[in-house]
Amino acid sequence: MKKRFLKVAVTTALTVAFAVPAFAAAANPFSDVPAKHWAYDAVNKLAQSGIVDGYNDGTFKGDKTMTRYEMAQIVAKAMNKSLNADQQAAVDQLSKEFSTELNNLGVKVEGLQNKVDNMVKISGDARVRVFGSDNQGSDNDFRARVGFEGKINNDMKFNARLTTGNMNYKGGNSDAAIDTANVTFNALGTTSTIGRQDVKLAGGYLFDTQMNAFATDINGLKLVAGNRNVTAGSERIYAAEYGFNALGGKVVADYYKNDTQDQEIYGLSTAFKLSNSVEAKAAYYDNNDADATAVSYGVKFTKAGLTATHYDVDAAAFTGFGSLSNDVTAIGTNGFKGMEYQYDKSFNKNAALNVKYQDFKDQAGTEIGARTQATVNVKF
């Protein structure tokens, strides 16, 4: 997506530039570089080193020739990379050969990346969820989101995202809206975001949605304060999270306070390797005022993508967020205990599958029923 927008932008600018009849035929960027030109071999070596991208087969060989404009784009890209001595020599030689075309881009080569950085970047994701339960029937939904990120200056950028909301295939209405709109800035060695934004705490157990807030990260300490909009109004929320390494594992400490619901929860979670392919994990959260706790522990087989986790969660220690409540059908408000089995598979860097099977009872001993959900996420 980003490459395509870059190509469109640069091509448009170039078309305007070359509308002025001031260039000789030899400098025409749309003339082909001869098939036996030495530049092909030089650029192909750069491609094999991962400096630049080639055609679909990863090379610059074959029957298709390149224009001088296309070759100049490749050279400009290579000049913004970290190069060894041999690679730098090749790029220097190429830049001399295509210097006219590089100049015709309208910027100096060292400024080309700045133009790219200053462009608004567009990305998105789509999600399909299918759910089935012994006691709650079946359901499914779809959601698509498109995000925009732009640079305001060297220390500030804006973010916005459109969402369809969860579109129920049974005919339910979607909640199409702008679900994030914020400004991120760097100051005094910290990164802060103000506005409507995604907030995730304790891996999603304590909080996992959007809220209007100020959030900052100070040397790994995340601080959040703001309001979450709900149907009946809003909830005032404060939170802090800090992760650190200890005894060969990763430890995360959390604090979550919901003034509106009178919830104040402290928590610790950890994950550590038992072997190269096996990871143990555990978490403990305590709502001290309500004398309620949430405990989980399990094991993850990293290479296989399989995770088994046991939960024992009191009702007052359950915030209503995270993977356990973010299913198509919520788990309920009476607490729960039992096993969850999860399978995760990445098809490539842009697509992932998640399958969960849950077998829970509520804290009164009533069967919630076996629950199964499959989710496919695609990024673009």
Task: Looking at the structure, tell me whether residues 24 and 150 fall in a common domain.
Answer: no
- CATH classification at residue 350: 2.40.160.10
**48 and 14 Cβ atoms separated by less than 8 Å:** no
**285 and 291 Cβ atoms separated by less than 8 Å:** no
Task: Give me the pLDDT at residue 62, please.
Answer: 53
Task: Looking at the structure, tell me whether residues 58 and 190 fall in a common domain.
Answer: no
Mean pLDDT, range 224-251, rounded to an integer? 91
Task: Give me the pLDDT at residue 112, please.
Answer: 52
Give residue-wise pLDDT tens across range 346-365: 987 789 999 999 999 999 88
- Give the chain's domain count: 2
Give residue-wise pLDDT tens across range 27-42: 456 677 887 888 888 8
| Domain final position from 91, 117, 143 | 117
Task: Looking at the structure, tell me whether residues 226 and 352 fall in a common domain.
Answer: yes
Helix (H, G, I), strand (E, B) or coil at 229: strand
Q: Which amino acid is at 241?
A: E
Residue 146 or 232, more confident: 146
Task: Looking at the structure, tell me whether residues 108 and 144 fall in a common domain.
Answer: no
Lowest mean pLDDT among 26-40, 76-90, 233-247: 26-40
Mean pLDDT, range 176-202, rounded to an integer? 93
Task: Looking at the structure, tell me whether residues 68 and 159 fall in a common domain.
Answer: no
Task: Looking at the structure, tell me whether residues 134 and 261 fall in a common domain.
Answer: yes
Domain span at 110: 2-117
Residues above pLDDT 70, as percent of the chain: 84
Phi-psi category of residue 78: left, alpha or beta, with phi > 0 → left and psi -120 to 50 → alpha:
alpha
| Domain final position from 97, 117, 137 | 117
User: How far, in Å, CA of 266 to CA of 283, rounded?
Assistant: 11
